[in-house]
Amino acid sequence: MSFNKTTVRALTDLGLNNLEALVYLSLLKTPGSTGYRIAKNLGKAVSNVYQAMESLAKQGFIILHYEGKDRLYSPVPVNELISRLKSDVERKTRLLEEELKNMETPPLETAIYKIDNKEQLFTKIGTLIEQANKSILLTADAFFIRQFQEKLEDAGGKDKKILILGYEKIQFENCEFLLLESGGKSPWPGHWIIMDVDGIQHLIAFFEKPDTLTHAIWCDDEYVSFWIHFFMLADFTLMTFFEETKNDPKNKEIHDRIHDLYKRYSPGKLHLSQYYTSFTWMKNAAKNQKECI
């Protein structure tokens, strides 16, 4: 007697061993059989079949009854078998859940993580966009923006607020795009991106060339990311103000005053194009400081 392998495997997946599954299926076809008859039908050793029957009887999957001196076995109805197997699986699952929770380690502390290569960086950016629940603030050159335009538009289409500050005109759907005029290209060399997600994660990266990653970090510290979020929002607002008022005589006085304040407190009083060239000015400043000590 043979049975569908898929059916046998389904029973073994739910906790029966292979012989127990075969015995139960055999009894479905010939209920009220002796162990000897089932062993003969299956081509299995009688002692092994009786052992399987005892196990099935203890689990409540088959019933033993007597006719004279004969010990006869019959299966419980299929719906009863399935109900008991489900209950057993649920019980084992609950026990496993409790055991695993006891073994679970505390969540990793928040930190700043260095990203070492382009593939890892692009994967992380895509993941952050997909993970966003409420908002994304992002400023980047066209190299980065175009890489992730489709993902950003998809996120915006799912009621997430996406605000992007860029320097090259790009048509976006489902996102708010702030354009700063810079002659149709980024105001400094290289490729760069700064993004904040929900005010709880942020990422910063810079490429000297498309395939030369210079700096990249991701941070999931909520306190730091909170301030990054509002610094970016303030900067976006300020840059938009500069853009809107630069040729407006009515606002020239306040424009010049705020712009002067902005420049006076920028590190090293550098022109923007100098900030993003491998940060060599920082290295030189640190070197000069050491020499003065």
- Residue 109, pLDDT score: 66
CA distance 112 to 201: 10
Question: Using a CB cutoff of 8 Å and minimum separation of 24, what contacts does 73-80 make?
Answer: 73/27, 73/31, 73/32, 73/33, 73/34, 73/35, 73/38, 74/27, 74/31, 74/32, 74/33, 75/24, 75/27, 75/28, 75/31, 78/28
How many other CB atoms are found less than 10 A from the CB of residue 1? 12
Average pLDDT rounded to a whole number, residues 31-46: 90
Contact 157, 90 (CB under 8 A): no
Could you tell me the pTM of the whole model? 0.55
- Residue 111, pLDDT score: 80
Q: Which of 14-18, 169-173, 288-292 has the lowest mean pLDDT?
A: 288-292
Which parts of the chain fold into alpha helices (H)?
5-13, 18-29, 35-42, 46-58, 78-103, 118-131, 142-147, 149-156, 222-245, 252-264, 272-275, 280-292
Share of the chain above pLDDT 90, in %: 31
CA distance 2 to 25: 9
- Residue 280, pLDDT score: 46
The distance between the two most distant Cα atoms of the chain, rounded to a whole number of Å, is 113
Residue of higher predicted confidence among 185 and 155: 155
Whether residue 177 is predicted with pLDDT greater than 50 in this model: the reply is yes
Average pLDDT rounded to a whole number, residues 242-267: 81
Average pLDDT rounded to a whole number, residues 107-115: 77
Domains of the chain: 5-103 (1.10.10.10), 112-292 (3.30.870.10)
Share of the chain above pLDDT 70, in %: 86
- Residue 131, pLDDT score: 92
pLDDT in tens, 43-91: 999 999 999 999 998 888 888 888 888 889 888 888 888 888 888 888 8
pLDDT band for position 225 (cuts 50, 70, 90): very high
pLDDT band for position 173 (cuts 50, 70, 90): very high
- Residue 103, pLDDT score: 79
Average pLDDT, the chain: 83
Whether residue 156 is predicted with pLDDT greater than 70 in this model: the reply is yes
- Residue 106, pLDDT score: 64
- Residue 85, pLDDT score: 85
Whether residue 150 is predicted with pLDDT greater than 70 in this model: the reply is yes
Closest by Cα among 41, 4, 5 to 23: 41
- Residue 268, pLDDT score: 57
CA distance 250 to 260: 17
- Residue 293, pLDDT score: 47
